Structure formats: structure tokens, C-alpha cells
Amino acid sequence: MTDFETAFGRPSDGVWSAPGRVNLIGEHTDYNDGFVLPLALDRRTWVAAARTTEPGWTTVRSDREDQPVRFAASTVAPGQVAGWACYVAGVVWAFREAGLPVADTDLFIHGDVPVGAGLSSSASLECAVAVALAGLAEIPVEKTPFARIARRAENEFVGAPTGGMDQMAAMHGAPDRLVFLDTRTEAVELIPFDLATHDLALLVLDTRAPHQLVDGQYGERRHDCAEAAALLDVPSLRDATLDAVGALDDRRLRARARHVVTENARVLEVVDRLRGGRDPREIGPLLTASHESMRDDFAITVPHVDVAQETALAAGAHGARMTGGGFGGCVIALVEVADVDAVTRAVEAAYADRGWEPPVAFTAVASAGAGR
């Protein structure tokens, strides 16, 4: 018996899923109209769904939660649902707002994307619900419009002011591909990223660093970037040159802007190298440079991530960097498959030396986007 059958007493009409994501490079570039390069993870959120037998009610259950949450698909609006189910209700609402058909449904959610680790379990949940609603309504999935719907749910229903990268990665992700996204135009290009054939792995180290002051700091960085762009008289830092940035008087703004400008250039360089079929090892130094820029110019790393990054490099990684918004979260390292265990053990030992809880380590394989 499936979880859905146990919960609702009948089989579902289908199971849909969407992946979490990890950003290979391009950090804090999204709200500066810049470039990002995430991959869809082989960790997903699944939604088993069926049309309701109780008209007027959508019922959502999750194996992470004791209680179901109920709302009416035809009237649900921001403010009416709180907690974990607002990600689901938000997508139903945004679907309706987009003029797409929504019927009441029974939904059972199960996921193995680590929650709150910066791997975007939230976007994977939203996108899985979006493709489930489309499947039940028998309408075609449109990747970018659906990503917009999911982002709108997160921004306006959940109330989290995030960029659009996570939902675009969850919708557009593909096996052995990176999702190269221009956040200004929403143009997407899939970039080859087949590490296994090169005997390489992307090691993810969830540092589980205690998050502190994250919200305030994120807002401050956004504000700094907007201020720097205004001083430089450009629409966004996407349009700034390194020379212009170097002439900014304010030391902090100069450093913040330099991170964004150099980070955009690094994304384009990584894309160039991989698109040209070069050995993925050649992107290692760009990953490491990205970390140094986040540490020294953007000031968003913390000891847990710096130690993991430095230790991974010292243990043989070709490149390593923090991924995600900062102040904790995950470090990624490009390593030989044969070195995955040694690098993991080295970081564990460095953490043990400092009396820290060990990181949670796994390897990420670029996987399929949302679908049935």
C-alpha cells in the first residue's frame, strides 16, 4: 500500500516529482540581473495526487507532518494558509491567478531533499505540485511559465523574497546538464556536465552551520548592490564594468560590486569551458575563486564553510566553494571519484578538531527536472 492509499483510502491518479538544486556557480548574481548555473539534484520531492472525492476541499498531507491541511482551491488566497502547506496552497493560488484550471485534489507529499540546507526543498515542493496540477488537469507543462508560477507562490503566498533560480532549475534540470540561466532575459541553455565519464564527482558537504542573522544580511547585500548600481548609474550590476567598480569611493560597496561583476564573468567562463567540451577539471580554479570572492569581497562565508572549503582543497579537490546565499549551508567540491571518501574524511576530521558536528556529505548527480 502506498502512503497515498493509506492516507486517503484509494489509489492516486499519478505521482509527480521535482528536484532540489545546487548552484554550481553564480552567487548573489540573480537579483543583480546576472547569470547562475545550477543543476537539478538526484534528490526530489514527490507528490501523489488525485482529484478529491470531497468537492470543495483540497487536502494536503506530508510524511514529515502529523496533521493534514485543508483549503478550497477555488478561493484560497495569501494569508489563509500558514506553515509548510503554504508552499502547496501558494502554487494552487498562483495557478488560478495565471488563469489555469485548478480543481480540488488530495495530495500526499514525500521528499528526500534536505530541508533548510539551501538545496531548495521549497522550490522542489512547489514545482512538483505545479506539474501534478497540470497532470490532473491534462494541460501541458510549460517549464518557464510554471517556474514563474512557483516563484510567485514563494514570493507572494509564502512571503519569501527569493529570486527565480530555484524554480527554473527544478523545471529545466536534465540528466548530466547544468541549467545556465540569464536572470535578466530568463533565457535557459543546458550545458553538458557529465562528471562520471571523467571519473569526477561533485561532493556536497552540508556544513549544518548554525544560521545567524541571515535575513538581515541578505537584505543588506541586496541594498549594497542596488546602491552601487545607482552610484555607477547602471540599471543593475550586471551592466557594470570592473574598471567602473574600481573607481567607487566607498570601500564596502566597491568590494560588494566587485564580487557581482567578477562572479558573472566566472559563470560565463565556466559555461564557455564546458560548452567547448573541455575537461571539467578546468573549472576547478573558477569555483575556488568564487569562494574567495564570497569570503573576501561579499563577506558572506562563516568559519564552518571556510574550513570545509579549505580542507577539501588541501585534500585534493580540483575546486571548492560555498553554494547558496551564505552564512552556512553547503560547500561543494569537484573531486576525483576515487578521492570522495578521503576528502569527506578530511573535512570530518577538521570539524572534529574544532569540536563541531560532522557535515552531512553526499555526491550530487545532475538529474531530470519536474515531471510525472
Q: Hey, which residues does 360 pair with through a beta bridge?
A: 206
Is 121 one of the binding residues for ligand ADP (CB under 6 A)? yes
**Total site size for ligand ADP, rule CB under 6 A:** 17
Kindly tell me the burial class for residue 97, based on how many C-beta atoms sit within 10 Å of its own C-beta (0-12, 13-18, 19 or more).
middle
221-225-227-232 Cα dihedral, nearest 10 degrees? 160
Q: How far is the CB of 120 from Mg ion (least distance, A)?
A: 5
Q: Compute the least distance from the CB of residue 109 to ligand ADP, in Å.
A: 5
Write a three-state SS string for 253-278.
Answer: HHHHHHHHHHHHHHHHHHHHHHHCCC
Sequential DSSP letters for 29-48: -GGGT-EE-EEEEEEEEEEE
Residues in 20-59 at the binding interface with ligand ADP, rule: CB under 6 A:
45
Question: Which is closer to Mg ion, CB of 59 or CB of 120?
Answer: 120
Q: Which residue is nearest to Mg ion (CB)?
A: 122
Q: Which of 166, 224, 297, 339 is catalytic?
A: 166
Could you tell me the three cell numbers for 57? Answer: 476541499
**Segment near ligand ADP (CB under 6 A); pick from 60-68, 198-206, 270-278, 315-323:** 60-68
CB-nearer residue toward Mg ion: 62 or 122: 122
* Whether 243 is catalytic: no
Q: How far is the CB of 206 from ligand ADP (least distance, A)?
A: 11
Residues ≥6 apart with Cβ < 8 Å to 253 = 224, 227, 228, 231
Q: What's the min distance (Å) between Cβ of 78 and ligand ADP?
A: 16
Q: Answer with the entry of Mg ion, ligand ADP, none that 111 interacts with (C-beta below 5 to 8 A by kind).
A: ligand ADP
- Residue 115 contacts which entry, ligand ADP, Mg ion, none (Cβ below 5-8 A, type-dependent): ligand ADP
Considering the complex, what minimum distance in angstroms separates the CB of residue 304 from Mg ion? 20
Cα distances (Å, whole numbers) of residue 124 to 168, 173, 259, 306, 356 = 10, 11, 28, 28, 30
The DSSP code for 184 is T
Binding string, residues 314-353; x marks residues near Mg ion by CB under 5 A: ----------------------------------------
d(CA 72, CA 57): 5
Cα–chain center distance at 73 = 27
SS3 of the chain: helix, strand, coil, percent, to 5: 45, 20, 35
| CA–CA gap between residue 184 and residue 367 (Å, rounded) | 25
Minimum distance, C-beta of residue 43 to ligand ADP, in the bound complex (Å): 10
**Cβ closest to Mg ion, residue 41 vs residue 228:** 41
Q: Do residues 20 and 113 make contact, with C-beta atoms less than 8 angstroms apart? A: yes
With CB cut-offs between 5 and 8 Å by kind, which of ligand ADP, Mg ion, none does residue 84 bind? Answer: ligand ADP
**Residue 293 touching Mg ion (CB under 5 A):** no
Binding mask of the shown chain, residues 111 to 140, with x at each position contacting Mg ion by CB under 5 A: ---------x-x------------------
Kindly identify the residues of this chain, within the stretch 61-120, that bind ligand ADP according to CB under 6 A.
62, 64-65, 84, 87, 109, 111, 115-120
Beta bridge partners of 44: 19
Residues labelled as active-site residues: 166
Query: Contact residues for Mg ion (CB under 5 A)?
Result: 120, 122
Query: Contact residues for ligand ADP (CB under 6 A)?
Result: 45, 62, 64-65, 84, 87, 109, 111, 115-122, 125
